[in-house]
């Protein structure tokens, strides 16, 4: 498993929301960094992979842990 460079706890975030928190973290990271976001919003499991694919980054994992999701993304460009 890749080493997580940055963790973002976006549980309980409705606005701006976990994906926007992830975008903020990706912007402030280096190419190759892995950002892990925690989200209590079920929509993140769909929203985040869609955005990642569209922007040309890479999904590392997306898994449910109890009542939240743990999703990691590698910045590719």
Partner 1 sequence: MAKRIAILGGGTAGTTLANRLARQLSHEIRKGEAEVLLISNTDRHIYQPGYLFVAFNEKPLDHFIRPQKSLVHRLVTMVYDDVEKIDVEKKELLSKRNRYAYDYLVIATGSYPDFDAVPGMKEITYNFYTPEGAEKLRDRLATFEGGKIMIVIDVPHKCPAAPLEVTLMLDDYFRRRNMRDKVELLYTYPIGRIHSLQPVADWALPEFEKRNIQYETYFNMESIDPEKKTVNTMDGAEHPFDLLISIPAHKGAPVVLNSGLGDESGFIPTDRYTLKMVGHDDVYVIGDATNLPISKAGSTAHYESETLTHNLISRIRGLPETKLYDGRVACFLENSLGDASFIIFDYNHPPKPADTSELIHWFKAMYNELYWLTARGLM
Given the rule CB under 8 A, which residues bind partner 1?
8-21, 23-24, 27-28, 43, 47, 50-51, 54-56, 77
Instruction: Closer to partner 1 by CB, 14 or 66: give it.
Output: 14
Question: Which listed residue (1, 3, 14, 15) is catalytic?
Answer: 15
CB atoms closer than 10 angstroms to residue 17: 16
DSSP lists the bridge partners of residue 6 as 35
DSSP helix/strand/coil, 56: coil
Q: How far is the CB of 56 from partner 1 (least distance, A)?
A: 8
Tokens of 2: 């890749």
Tell me the residue length of the chain: 77
Residue 15 designated active-site: yes
Q: Which residues are catalytic?
A: 15
């Amino acid at each position: 498993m890749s080493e997580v460079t940055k963790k973002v706890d976006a549980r309980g975030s409705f606005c701006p929301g976990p994906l926007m928190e992830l975008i903020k973290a990706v912007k402030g990271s280096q190419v190759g960094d892995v950002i892990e976001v925690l989200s209590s919003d079920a929509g993140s499991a769909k929203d985040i992979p869609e955005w990642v694919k569209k922007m040309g980054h890479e999904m590392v994992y997306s898994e449910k842990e109890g009542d939240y999701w743990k999703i990691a993304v590698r910045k590719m460009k």
